[in-house]
Structure 1
Amino acid sequence: MKNPAMRHSPAIPFDPKVNLYSGFGGNMKPYEFTGWRDETMSWKTTAYLAANLNPQPTFMLQGPEALKFLSDHCVNNFEWFPVGTCKHAVMCREDGIIMIHGALIRTGDDEYYSYALAPYIDYLLAKGGYDAVGENISGKVFLFQVAGPRSLEILEEASGDNLHDIKFARHRMSRIAGKDVRILRIGMAGTLAYEVHGVIDDALEVYSAIYEAGQAYGIRRLGQLSYSLFNHTEAGFPQGFIHFPYPWHEDEGFVEYLKETGQTTRLTFNLRGSSGQDITARYRNPVELGWGGMIKFNHEFVGREALEKEVANPRRKMVTLVWNKEDIIDVYASQFEPGEPYANMDRPSEKDYLPSIVTYYADKVLKDGREVGISSGRIFSCYYREMISLCSIDVEFSELGTEVIVLWGEEGTRQKGIRAVVSRFPYLNENRNTDVDVSTIPVVSKT
């Protein structure tokens, strides 16, 4: 029976079988449904349904100069951005450090929706200077993710609609459970993936319809533990608040805006790992994250001068590190030996889901005793049976097969150098969403 005092997510149907919850995001979400091992296998073998991003920071932008506003503040090229398409938008400050990134879709001639760009996009627009208006509609809408090799079949079963025409980074309207929804072919799983958007009042019915339609295809629901870090690290999608921090607290105007609008929660952070307490060492620019290809210098934008230099002469590159199994076992074994043990690896991923503070985990990466990179987003991949992380590493050490050391444990504690090998990025490189030929998938729809 649901506890009436529980602030349960309005986007996820209550399940009496779930007995552990996370308060991350302002409401209670199931921590696990069928166990993290089973859930994290889903986007490689069947498919998952995830509502964990709700309430998703969503901002609607309209007006004759809406596109100019976006062009002035994003590194992206907007010369080609027709209605019905999506972009991964990145906003930087003058020195090229990322201030925020997220998804951006165009729904009309002068209408755009952004996801995860708020509250920074709100702040920039509030400064004025553009013939455009915006509205933060977070909490008024829902966003579901359906990802994995059976995701298209599941959504066609749920909608009764032939969705094969939706190409990668495209979207269009459809209906599920008699409700209007927008279906997008994007996602963070790396494999074939879609998103379903709609108004929050329809969320529970749409969620239930998708889950019911997915039963014949082995669908899994993602709990909070399985969400965010596993797919982002495996699939090679570095993420703010997880793999790296945003320097929001250094922008005085933005801090004041957050205080005025009651959005200061994410200004409170905790730094963990051997990288230490200098948060600036954890900042990232889009080039070192592997996003250099989306930076276009055919327009003026904030951070252009710094990024021109970075693109011309990159200092670091994003790679995956595969950690040495013997060294990992040694970390576990230290708990059964006398004396101080190494920092534990009890959790399958290095991510906290606390409602009031953001914890960043990052470790120094060494070569011959010299610091050459920073590792973050450690996970145990059940699919690959490997401990892996993402690493921003000096270009000269980025070749596949290079052996490095991840310094495990914080300064002042017992530390261990864990051997690791520079590996492919993204690590999950088969059946990528960009490459899947959906014509090979049977049409399930009834229309």
Structure 2
Amino acid sequence: MNDPGQIPHSPYLPLDPEVAAYNSTSGHLTPWEFAGWQKEVMSWKDTAYLHAGLNPTYPYKISGPDAMKLFADTCVNSFAKFSIGGSKHAVMCNAQGNIMAHGMLLRTGEDEFITFYLSPYINYFVDSGKYDVKGEDLTGQVFMFQVAGPRSLEILEAALQEDLHDIKFLRHRPAQITVESGQVVDIKVLRIGMAGSLAYEVHGRIEDALPVYAKILQAGQPFGVERIGMLVYGMNHTENGFPQVAIHFMAAWHQDPDFIAYLGEAMDYYAGHFAQLEGSAGPDLAARYSNPIDLGWSHVVKFDHDFIGREALAALVAAPRRAVVTLIWNVQDILDVYASFFEKGPAHDFMTFQADTIWSKNGMVSHVDEVLKDGVRVGLSMGRVYSYYYRAMISLCPIDIAHADLGGEVEIVWGEPGARQKKIRATVARFPIFDLPRNEHIDVSAIPRLAGAVALDA
């Protein structure tokens, strides 16, 4: 019998006795890194990675005749075209236009959908009684694996022995994989990813997670697949230019007291999970809220329907206040931070080299720093990471439009309020900094098809 004081290993991937460090944010032990962070961060540029660390993905199934209306009322996205087998990056805002939740939304049937990371906010509307729908929490029943990088399609085709070239960006379809035992397992393959490069997700039942993971890993060996841990996964959002809750901004839950009341005692869990606010931006939670316009998601916002936050977002589209950019941190100023640990007197706050801390024992950490121009705050720096590929310390910054020109120089305030602080020079650079072929633009017909694989479109 397991010691109840022990944290269990993740049920979503096999135990590897060679793994030395783990993270417990999700309530189970998930590998921190596998082959070393340098190899892992290069995987989505050179080969591909396999990642299981996002589980559980807060999967929530919604079905019923009013399901589409619910999404149209609560999401900024257009639902004029949303066929079965499609998916969307769904963004939910409050009346002020600030983001309350965002995640993937898959249409799996005429009146059936599965959401990822929209819970618990989407549950709030399901349980409101205003819609003829039924919600089902699938947490603990399903898994999701990410396979991302230029060799990802070849790896999955080798694992499934099936031609997957027909799956277009943001589309998903059923597939099958034969695992080591000889069992044929039903899965779903979706073309999407957080790394910017060609990427897919594999979805299935939790009881099939370990053998499916093992089969994909085995099939990926000839292609140089790398497993990535929680350290590196938290780094690819900044490089790819995909802002994420906690890493880059905070969900504006406290602006909706009715939602807080709906959560009841569960709010204690969420408050603890997202309680750690770090960085020179200080303890003001509201300063870390953001909206889809400031984050570069204007293309997702469609005004062909009424939705919560429409009026506020229309005003922002008409007169944008900020543009999101990448900041490249000055190397000498970074070295000065480290040099302070070899000098007498108070040192600067330590700068963890690979990235700001985003995972803690009990939840996630939001590290946000002030960005100044001539001593005046003009933006916030968030999601700092070291890009091994671009050999630069970078972060994302929704910055005042007047200071968004590429090549401009600003200052990032490093250090907690009340501690020794340093102004680090930074250069405004392109967003995203990732400039390799992107998933949505890649023509997979140029990628060799697996010889002998079954083609769905044959």
Shorter-chain TM-score range: over 0.9
Cα distance in structure 2, aligned partners of 1:293 and 1:441: 29
Counterpart of 2:308, as a letter, is: V
> Which one of 264, 277, 284 corresponds to residue 278 of structure 1?
284
1:394-409, aligned counterparts within 5 Å? 394-409=400-415
Match of 1:383 among 380, 383, 389: 389
Q: Secondary structure at the residue paired with 1:406?
A: strand
Instruction: Report the counterpart of residue 224 of structure 1 in structure 2.
Output: 230
Q: Cα deviation per residue 1:138-187 (whole Å; 9 max; x = unaligned)?
A: 12100000000000000000000000000111111111222111000000
> Shift in Å at residue 121 of structure 1?
0.5
Cross-structure match for 2:269: 265
Post-superposition offset of 1:429: 2.0
Greater displacement, 75-84 / 17-26: 17-26
Alignment-derived partner of residue 68 in structure 1: 69
Q: CA deviation at 1:96?
A: 0.3
Give, in whole Å, the separation in 2 of the partners of 1:256 and 1:14.
40
Q: Is 1:253 aligned with 2:254?
A: no
Residue 341 of structure 1: CA displacement? 1.3
Contact preservation (8 Å) 1:265, 1:357: no
d(CA) in 2 for partners of 1:3, 1:432: 46
2:375 to 369, 372, 394: 369
Q: CA deviation at 1:293?
A: 1.3
Q: Distance in 1 between matches of 2:230 and 2:238?
A: 15
Unaligned stretches of 5+ residues in structure 2: none
Of residues 193, 203, 214, the one that matches 2:199 is 193
**Equivalent position of 1:115 in the other structure:** 116
- In 2, the alpha carbon distance for the partners of 1:134 and 1:120 equals 12
Partner of 2:450: 444
Q: Per-residue deviation at 1:3?
A: 9.1
Q: CA deviation at 1:6?
A: 4.3
Rounded Cα–Cα distance in structure 1 between residues aligned with 2:209 and 2:361: 22
Task: Judge which range, 157-166 or 332-341, deviates more.
Answer: 332-341
CA distance in 1, matches of 2:66, 2:417: 50
Match of 2:436 among 421, 430, 438: 430
| CA shift in 2, pair 1:30/1:357, >3 Å | closer
CA contact (8 A) 2:260 2:267 kept: no
Q: Secondary structure at the residue paired with 1:213?
A: helix
Cα distance in 2 for residues equivalent to 1:63 and 1:39: 42
Contact 2:372 2:378 in 1 (8 A): yes
Q: Secondary structure at the match of 1:41?
A: helix
Question: How many Å apart are 1:255 and its aligned residue?
Answer: 2.5
Contact 1:61–1:135 at 8 Å: present in 2 too? yes
For 2:398 and 2:162, how far apart are their aligned partners in 1?
42
Deviations 1:31-79 (A, max 9, x none): 1111111111101111000001111111111111100000000000000
Cα deviation per residue 1:341-385 (whole Å; 9 max; x = unaligned)? 111113411133224243210001011111100000000011111
Task: Give the Cα separation in 2 of the matches to 1:355 and 1:299.
Answer: 42
SS in 1 for 2:233: coil
Residue identity opposite 1:337 in structure 2: E
2:239 equivalent among 234, 237, 241: 234
The answer to whether the 8 Å contact 1:271/1:360 transfers is yes
Q: 1-side partners of 2:267 and 2:97: how far apart?
A: 24
C-alpha separation in 2, matches of 1:238 and 1:214? 29
Q: What amino acid is the match of 1:430?
A: L
Map of 1:20-39 to 2, 5 A cutoff?
A: 20-39=21-40
Flag the 1:263–1:179 CA change in 2: closer, same or farther, 3 A. Answer: farther
Q: Counterpart of 2:44? A: 43
Q: Which segments of structure 1 move beyond 6 Å, counting only runs of 4 or more? A: none
What CA distance in whole angstroms lies between the structure 1 residues aligned with 2:399 and 2:271? 27
Deviation at residue 250 of structure 1 after TM alignment: 4.0
Tell me the distance in 1 between the aligned counterparts of 2:331 and 2:3: 43
The residue aligned with 1:326 is 332
Q: Deviations over 1:199-218 (max 9, x none)?
A: 10100010000000000011
- 1:85 lines up with 2:86 in the alignment: yes
Rounded to whole Å, the distance in 1 between the matches of 2:287 and 2:47 is 39
Of the candidates 305, 312, 315, which is equivalent to residue 306 of structure 1? 312
Distance 2:240 2:112 in 1: 30
Kept in 2, the 8 Å contact 1:265–1:356? The answer is no
Deviates more, 1:192-201 or 1:274-283: 274-283
SS of 1:101's partner is strand
What SS does structure 1 have at the residue aligned with 2:232?
coil
User: d(CA) in 2 for partners of 1:443 and 1:318?
Assistant: 38
Tell me the number of residue pairs that the alignment of Structure 1 and Structure 2 aligns. 444
- Alpha-carbon distance in structure 2 between the residues aligned to 1:310 and 1:437: 34
Structure 2 residue aligned with 1:145? 146
CA drift at 1:257: 3.0
Give the Cα separation in 1 of the matches to 2:62 and 2:422. 49
Residue 86 (structure 1) shift: 0.9
Cα distance in structure 2, aligned partners of 1:363 and 1:418: 11
Do the aligned partners of 1:143 and 1:195 also contact (CA within 8 Å) in 2?
A: yes
Instruction: Tell me which residue corresponds to 1:209.
Output: 215
Q: What's the RMSD between the two structures over aligned residues?
A: 1.4
**Separation of aligned partners in 1, 2:357 and 2:61:** 30
| Whole-angstrom distance in 2 between the partners of 1:441 and 1:264 | 49
Give structure 1 stretches of 5+ with no counterpart: none
Distance 1:355 1:220 in 2: 25
Distance in 2, matches of 1:265 and 1:442, equals: 48
Once the two structures are superposed, the pairs formed by residues 339-358 of structure 1 within 5 Å of their partners are: 339-358=345-364
**How far, CA to CA, are the matches of 1:257 and 1:350 in structure 2?**
32
CA distance in 2, matches of 1:303, 1:385: 39
| Per-residue CA distance 1:383-442 (angstroms, 9 max, x = gap) | 111000000100111111111101111121111111101101011021100111111111
